[in-house]
Structure 1
């Protein structure tokens, strides 16, 4: 499904000023120079996001059925993502840490250019639990962040701010990878991060549309997107503090993100506005072996991936 993206903020202002200039001058030749247009956020093809999920599923199947911390399936997942980013022109860094007697890895990808004193980050955890492939939790976020990064490269996007993307290890063991990353930043480098956007479980099969309310500006950015496509949202509470935004927030970094629900049951009121089945978990395969490519709602994945891209473009202008 192709979703329209509302033109807001500086982009809307540029369009309005340009239109007014043309109207009052009567001719293009007589018009004052229009403001430079701001690049509109692209639609992320959900088929591309799902192709990454298929790869994660294949990796799990070839490596004991999971992509968990310290296991071969996690390393293969990281290598898949890194290979795509390296080929697209990102500068990638693999950061290692130890948890539970096993070595874990974070993958950080920087897009060259932009003001490195103003860094916009988007991230997701790449590890699954040991009981399954973890395609919604959290292949969905990882695949969407990857596709957004590849779209930055494909479109040659050159934002004012610096873009950084991240895939975290050992989230399922207590946010270990993201906490390690944040704790090992200097205070100056932490201060350079103007916002961290987190995407954890964004394709739940019985989905809700939940927006983090940790930072008002980031929250408004996501709400504006969903309002523009006519999808109501609620404040995220089920996973509050339980995903990789928490270490950033604790360090004073503005954070935000999206979520489609886990083991909590959808209420009748939520089913009335979002569809789906009331009384059933948003993701009844949460942390279990049935969290496969069959455990994804394509519409939710599509909408959230496009909201991700919208926020990255809007906040990095």
Structure 2
């Protein structure tokens, strides 16, 4: 998340072979289409360790335009390709489509994958990237057949001003824009010292599955605007937007934003929240 766009009020309040294979434990395909699966820390945290290892091999960061960022894109793409997604690298972005569903009512789910030069960017935003990846793998392992088409995105250059998500939308025609029924964004999902989830809500119903699941987990929520991350790019085009974050921490945009900075229980709850939101909206 870019530093300049975050309101100060929020300051208080994701072995390569195993990853590619996918390890999300779900019910049978028929059952899973009715009820969303539940993932555990062992399903989500390996993605964050993967991103940390990439940063460690590349000067300690995964910033846009660096080998660390390009390797992050390739690593996520390998997981998606192995799980049956149709993937494409589009500029700085990675886009993955799950086959099937009505493309005139597409549900998009995204997170920015780039970090900053100051550190590996594991909470900001490896955590959101891992949540989206765990959700995509859960869809694949469940053999989900949604009514809406599902498209997942990992944005580049968010830290430079939402560059990747804006560029993606700039490529679309007005008709293609209208075919995006809703967009869900997740940014900084692995630390929750304040105890509340901050939910993007424009009172259009898109956020309801997020509220519903967090209520079952006895978590408080605070409504926030879309500004501050890639959800704003979609909101600016008139697309319904929701999503969530869990707040900033002392390692924000610093070298200490490592995998050790993540709280596995929070990251896991965030993944299950997004999975329930996708099942509820798709």
The TM-score range, normalised by the shorter chain, is: 0.7 to 0.9
The one-character-per-residue Cα deviations of 1:117-152 (angstroms, maximum 9, x if unpaired) are 110111000000000000000000001100110111
- 1:227 correspondence with 2:208: no
8 A Cα contact 2:32 2:142, kept in partner: no
Distance 2:210 2:204 in 1: 10
The separation in 1 between residues aligned to 2:33 and 2:79, in whole angstroms, is: 27
Unaligned runs of at least 5 residues, structure 1: 1-35, 97-104, 263-282
* C-alpha distance in structure 2 between counterparts of 1:61 and 1:171, whole Å: 21
Higher relative contact order (CA 8 A, sep 6+): 2
Distance 1:116 1:128, change over 3 A: same
Number of the residue aligned with 2:268: 302
Q: Is the 8 A contact 1:60 1:73 kept in 2?
A: yes
- 1:300 offset after TM fit, Å? 1.6
1:62-81 → structure 2 map (5 Å cutoff): 62-81=57-76
* Residue 26 (structure 2) aligns with: none
SS at match of 2:165: helix
Root-mean-square deviation (CA, aligned residues, Å) is 1.5
Partner residue of 1:260?
A: 246
> What is the CA–CA distance in structure 1 between the aligned matches of 2:142 and 2:184, rounded to whole Å?
21
Once residues 54 and 37 of structure 1 are traced to their aligned partners in structure 2, the CA distance between those partners, rounded to angstroms, is 28
Q: CA deviation at 1:46?
A: 2.0
Shift of 1:229: 1.9
Kept in 2, the 8 Å contact 1:205–1:296? The answer is no
Look up the match of 2:177. 190
CA deviations over 1:275-304 (Å, ceiling 9, x no partner) = xxxxxxxx1100100000111122221111
Q: Pick the structure with greater CA Rg.
A: 1
Pair 1:112 & 2:99 matched = yes
Equivalent residue for 1:312, pick from 268, 278, 282: 278
Q: Give the length in aligned residue pairs.
A: 251
| CA drift at 1:236 | 2.6
Are the counterparts in 2 of residues 215 and 254 from structure 1 also a CA contact under 8 Å?
no
CA distance in 1: counterparts of 2:43 and 2:33, whole angstroms? 25
Residue 153 of structure 1 and its aligned partner are, at CA, apart by: 0.9
Partner residue in 2 for 1:24: none
Q: For the residues of structure 2 that align with 1:202 and 1:296, how far apart are their CA atoms?
A: 9
